Structure 1
């Protein structure tokens, strides 16, 4: 059964009118009194304490905002989770934004929002949201761009699993509508061409870009261009962030007092966020790269945005008119893509600020052991400090570079990086391969010698402890194992000077003696029982009695 946003809100968070109150539990939480918003007193706010609101999977299809708005109900909501509802109209979404002016984080994942256009914003009608999740909403790039004009402070945008085959907008529109964007998550789409990704290169604050689970085929080196070559053009461009003279639908029922209060709250500093207990599972698609180093962004309700200090690229004298592509990009994730060439890895060296990279599960190097593949990636990327979540050390980097030189030393067409590392480390020979398991056999046929003659032959498993030989010998000579001493003679060795070696440690596996077919176990019967401590004494070659 479909419900409005306000109906679902009241059902979950407001008290009942005396019905079904026989059995219930009340949780009392003491917290600081929230600052009352303009135009309302603290006594008039029913849910003034509420900052984190979770209404996922609540069958919401409309806003249903009353004529007096939400100022007397819940004006202090900062984090809002509306994932997996049935909202399909952007007018309803913008109406909720308008009446919750303190919003900073909104999750709209799973709502069918791809079928309607986003209204063009009017003068002064923007919102202070800085983290927006639109996963699995089937939104278009045009909708995302127009929505960005409503959210000038947007720092993190989640567009995962929306079926994007490309980035069907221009670089100019992206820069105009998303000037403050620091983190863009495009996990699980169908983007395969780097020519589309390059449209993101002049987003001035883009710090983190997540492209995992896309069939991306290649990466091209970034370039340095003059400022004139990417100046936004006003000709032949669709309307993006130009102000509209038509009043938006969200203004219905809103008073002038609410508009003034909106502007005041948007100017306030961002309140502290607290993580609610019933966070929706809709944020799981962002977990893969959420635990990055300093500067990365945490996903989900209560997320903290990246440091807002402007990131710039140092330029040499005379380069004032030169702009670097991806000038602020520090964190990149391209795991589970189709990258298959070392040229793609070389291209990552040209990103001026790249410091953290995730690049798991790609075709390149898939036949190599995981440790070898990691060493080759480390040596290829001297600009990267964190690879796949692990910080690199100088020792690991040095070993990786030497491994890189050895690996490509006999390859017909090594990457350019190979010649650089040869100049640094010289020509290195391949390491010798030592097979410690050569000639090892799990079973060996041993001869048991007593009184100068062979009395028995038996095939034993050499992974078993030496104590097994004493049990066998005890049965052969009908003596207690306490009165037996055993000596090992390696008859299978090519060296004729082999000597008897006493088998002291009964817990030691027979394989430690390299026992093989034809070797002999000599049995000696002592007149006194053997002390257990004698096994700890170091014995030299002896002659059996």
Structure 2
């Protein structure tokens, strides 16, 4: 079970005082992987901590063999430590998670990354890095190999973001969520290598700011902008995202169906997430889902994580036509779908509740009779009701079920199990049961 924040605070309180102080990255590595007195066996509150940490040090050579993916979150890290020590320990590390630490100086971050030549993934989430990077540190060639950079909840200023982008020419994925950005400050250049941008839970309200992100990252394929109160999406936005395939707009301010129509302006869009948006609040789950499918262009094949099948799409589009057929405010999409399906008749009011009784013919030798059968009973109970008709106890006769549709190819089915419920046979009116002696 993973530690909670309360667990971490309790752990700091029960460890010696110096263990809760800020430490360097090498000290954190030693504490986690090479401490002669590991946490295993100590009591944390009412929990006995058991560690199965593998041995990472060669006892013969003394060489350090850290895993390529290094997770050092919640370790109170404040800096890089002595020059060269990180390089000695982390020369084979490719992924480094330093989230939830106390790094506040960019020179310490760059000192760490400059000593890990193979680093391609760096997570700095929830470190207090809101101070702009000093001018003398730019550019930052010490991060040139990074392809995935996570800066969530760091409050990193836009000026520093631009410096970091200039120093990461291979960057493919950028995470800038929870940074309280109320506006986007674009750079004077674009960054074509970035294909994924996480921009959730900021404070953007204007789609003009969103288009600035499209200009900065012209080759975006996946864009998350959920939990921003952006409103007023228009058809002019899509042109700024020519290669975008996946767009998450959940919990945004989309309040009109015309904004959903505007998604057709994104030329490559195939997947959309639209959960918990204001325009859908007035509809039930099924109706909301069908209306969204019908509004979206057929190029979109996934909605809210699920694939839209051909049958599901046709049903949604037909339901959309019937939803608007008697209304004056018919949208443009309605007329487009009429060209595909023509004018439809209203659906008949059909009771779709499952039947509890069916009328079937029961045959025994030369005798037959029509019986009204409850499908909620078991085979054994049904045989009990037939013993007067047969003149034999249930133990002395067998019961066969004859499905009208299946009889041509498969023949009758012997009902062997007295506990089987009749409704599981999907019995229809007009089916037959045949009885023979054992």
Question: TM above 0.5, one fold?
Answer: yes
Q: Tell me if 1:220 matches 2:136.
A: no
Measured after TM superposition, the shift of residue 180 of structure 1 is: 1.3
More helix by share: 2
Q: What residue in structure 2 maps to residue 335 of structure 1?
A: 250
* Alignment correspondent of 1:9: 29
2:110 pairs, out of 87, 94, 102, with: 94
Partner Cα distance (2:375, 2:90) in 1: 76
> 1:196 corresponds to which residue?
209
Q: Is the 8 A contact 1:154 1:180 kept in 2?
A: yes
Match for 1:78 among 69, 76, 94?
Answer: 94
1:63 partnered with 2:76: no
Q: Normalising by structure 2, what TM-score?
A: 0.69
> Cα RMSD between the aligned structures?
3.7
Structure 2 CA distance for partners of 1:418 and 1:50, relative to 1, 3 Å: same
Asked if 1:107 corresponds to 2:127, the answer is no
- Report if aligned partners of 1:214, 1:337 keep a CA contact under 8 Å in 2: yes
In the TM superposition, 1:356-395 aligns within 5 A as: 356-381=271-296, 382-395=298-311
CA offsets 1:40-62 (integer angstroms, 9 cap, x no match): xxx98832453111111011112
Alignment check: 8 A CA contact 1:357 1:384 kept:
yes
The verdict on how the C-alpha distance between 1:24 and 1:417 changes in structure 2, with shifts beyond 3 A counting, is: closer
- The answer to whether the 8 A contact 2:141-2:167 is kept is no
Separation in structure 2 between the aligned mates of residue 191 and residue 222 of structure 1, nearest angstrom? 18
Deviation at 1:67, TM superposition (A): 3.4
Unaligned runs of 5+ in 2: 1-20, 41-49, 358-368, 379-387, 402-430, 433-438
- Report the Cα offset of residue 355 of structure 1: 0.8
Corresponding residue of 1:149: 166
8 Å Cα contact 1:45-1:74 kept in structure 2: no
Contact 1:192 1:214 in 2 (8 A): yes
Rounded to whole Å, the distance in 1 between the matches of 2:263 and 2:273 is 12
Matches within 5 A, 1:475-514: 508=377
In the other structure, the counterpart of 1:54 is: 71
Rg comparison, structure with higher value: 1
Assess, with a 3 A threshold, how the Cα gap between structure 1 residues 44 and 210 changes in structure 2: closer, same or farther: farther
Deviation, 1:356, is: 0.9
Counterpart for residue 352 of structure 1: 267
SS in 2 for 1:71: helix
Aligned to 1:478: none
SS of the equivalent of 2:118 reads: coil
Structure 1 length-normalised TM: 0.57
Find the residue that maps to 1:157 and give its secondary structure: strand
Q: What runs of 5+ residues in structure 1 fail to find an aligned partner?
A: 34-42, 225-323, 438-462, 465-499, 510-525, 540-545
Of 222, 247, 264, the match for 1:208: 222
Q: Which of residues 240, 250, 271 is equivalent to 1:325?
A: 240
Is 2:186 the partner of 1:165? no
Q: Tell me how far apart the structure 2 counterparts of residues 379 and 24 of structure 1 sit (CA, whole Å).
A: 53
1:530 CA drift (Å): 7.2
Deviation at 1:501, TM superposition (A): 8.5
Tell me which of 145, 152, 164 is aligned to 1:128.
Answer: 145
CA distances 1:453-512 after superposition (whole Å, capped 9, x unpaired):
xxxxxxxxxx99xxxxxxxxxxxxxxxxxxxxxxxxxxxxxxxxxxx9966659559xxx
1:99 alignment partner, SS class: coil
Q: Tell me, yes or no, if the aligned pair for 1:331 and 1:354 is still in contact at 8 Å.
A: yes
Q: d(CA) in 1 for partners of 2:244 and 2:51?
A: 52
CA distance in 1, matches of 2:300, 2:259: 15
User: Is the 1:110–1:137 Cα contact (8 Å) retained in structure 2?
Assistant: yes
Alignment: residue pair count: 348
The Cα shift of 1:118 comes to 5.2
Q: What is the deviation of 1:329?
A: 0.7
| Residues 118, 410 of structure 1: alpha-carbon distance in 2 compared, 3 angstrom cutoff | farther
Q: Equivalent of 1:181, from 169, 194, 205?
A: 194
Give 2:324's aligned residue. Answer: 408
Contact 1:79 1:105 in 2 (8 A): yes
Once the two structures are TM-superposed, the CA of residue 139 in structure 1 deviates from its matched residue by: 1.9
For residue 17 of structure 1, report the CA deviation from its aligned partner.
Answer: 10
Give the match's secondary structure for 1:61.
Answer: strand
Shift of 1:85: 0.8
CA 1:377–1:156: 2 relative to 1, 3 Å:
same
| Structure 1 contact 45–72 (Cα < 8 Å) conserved | no
